[in-house]
Amino acid sequence: LSLQVSNGPGLGDERTTSLLLLGFLQSCPNSCFQRELEALGHEFSGHLFHDDELQTDGNRSSYFSVAAETDSERQEEAVREVARQLAQIGDRLEGSIRPGMVASLASRFSVRSLSEEDRRQCLADALEQLMRTCPADVDHEKTQLLLTMLLAKKIADHSPALLRDVFRTTVTFINQNLLASVRNLVRSEMD
């Protein structure tokens, strides 16, 4: 697993990755974390998925044109469609993740003293193990992205109370290591 460091995600990237993961998790039926996911979705819908910014005087910024809003809506729908597609593929790969791996990750994520960096490393280590079992002819970046989101789902299914922590760590991990893949998938969907 080669971890790539980008120039850093921008605000739009954070929003896109969060929306992708949220959409992915929402597309996974019969999960044990639905109540927690609904709360997380409501929390984000108020501030993460809107482009208008609150100014210091309390008014909303209105510098976005109608064309920019339409573009943003189109991109948001593309992100949601990519999330649905990945969730469908994830249904087929879900069995490749051993319950012992999930229990171990959930246990590590439960340790409050574990740093965010250590959590990302736990995720990276698990992802590296899973990638070793993938056929050589698969698209590695897309598979890494899918397996990363699938690990987040499995950890949250195992321990629903960890959803927020797992979500935050996964978004950061994706932005640091797989952002190009996210951008390519969304761009392809929009074309």
What pLDDT, on a 0 to 100 scale, did the predictor assign at position 46?
62
What pLDDT, on a 0 to 100 scale, did the predictor assign at position 51?
41
Give how far Cα 15 sits from Cα of 87, 150, 156, Å. Answer: 19, 19, 21
DSSP-derived letter for residue 44 is H
Count of CB atoms within 10 A of residue 11's CB? Answer: 10
| CATH entry 1.10.8.10 includes domain 11-47+65-190 | no
pLDDT tens for the chain, residues 1 to 191: 433 334 445 558 899 999 999 999 999 877 899 999 999 988 877 654 444 443 344 443 444 444 555 678 888 999 999 999 999 999 888 888 999 999 999 999 999 999 999 999 999 999 999 999 887 777 889 999 999 999 999 999 999 999 999 999 999 999 999 999 999 999 999 98
Q: List the one residue out of 25, 37, 157 whose CA is nearest residue 97.
A: 157
CA 40 to CA 143: how far, in whole Å? 25
CA 11 to CA 187: how far, in whole Å? 17
Q: How far does CA 184 lie from the centroid of its chain?
A: 15
Backbone angles phi, psi at 60, to 5 degrees: -80, 140
Structural domain spans, the chain:
11-47+65-190
Q: Which residue has the tokens 């990302």?
A: 120
Number of C-alpha atoms within 13 angstroms, CB side, residue 22? 24
What pLDDT, on a 0 to 100 scale, did the predictor assign at position 71?
73
CA 116 to CA 109: how far, in whole Å? 9
